[in-house]
Structure 1
């Protein structure tokens, strides 16, 4: 179970190569309450990713989300950064921490 932003960032950095190999992840970043240091017990973990074009599929999207939830022990709100709506992308850009 994760405790704070550093736990999540350490996990993402440590497992970045595995996520790239298994799911085609080319970038990953943390945003939202954990990135801001404002997470509560009931907070989900907000993560934005980019996938290799040939790996973009619902199977890989749900696979990486399931993998992250199992490993981190929390609900993960996963988004593909390049497909976020302009307002959401602007808000995410202000606080995202890429690993």
Structure 2
């Protein structure tokens, strides 16, 4: 099973590799891995802040991260206007890479 440290290291390396190409400003995890409650069935919940984005870019990033991590990955883009419950959850649990 993946560890929180392995995920954060992978995300940090991904950010450094693609920050200019994709405009990545921030990336990290929230959810079960951030809380230390992940199981074999857990997916990785990733938050990301981008300078400019579109659905195709977010989809590409999700696919690339799933390939790197080897587990299902959900990705949420941080925005000024977003679901308040989700934003609060991310703010409480976020661990940046």
| TM score, norm. by length of structure 1 | 0.89
How far did 1:15 drift?
Answer: 2.1
Show structure 2 runs of 5+ residues with no match: none
Q: Indicate yes or no: 2:25 matched with 1:7.
A: no
Counterpart secondary structure, 2:12 = helix
Distance in 1, matches of 2:72 and 2:28, equals 16
In the other structure, the counterpart of 1:32 is: 31
Of 72, 75, 98 in structure 1, the residue corresponding to residue 96 of structure 2 is 98
Matches within 5 A, 1:1-99: 3-53=2-52, 56-82=53-79, 83-99=81-97
CA distance in 2 between counterparts of 1:20 and 1:32 reads 23
Please identify, of 61-70 and 14-23, the stretch whose mean Cα deviation from structure 2 is larger.
Answer: 14-23
Runs of 4 or more consecutive aligned structure 1 residues displaced over 4 Å after TM superposition: none
C-alpha distance in 2 between matches for 1:14 and 1:20:
10
Work out the CA distance in 1 between the residues paired with 2:44 and 2:63.
Answer: 13
Distance in 1 between residues matched to 2:95 and 2:48, nearest whole Å: 11
Aligned CA distance change for structure 1 residues 58 and 89 (closer, same or farther; 3 Å) = same
Corresponding pairs, count = 96
CA-to-aligned-CA distance 1:52-87 (integer Å, 9 cap, x gap)? 13xx11111111001000000011010002253011
Q: CA RMSD in A?
A: 1.3
Q: Structure 1 stretches of 5 or more lacking a match? A: none
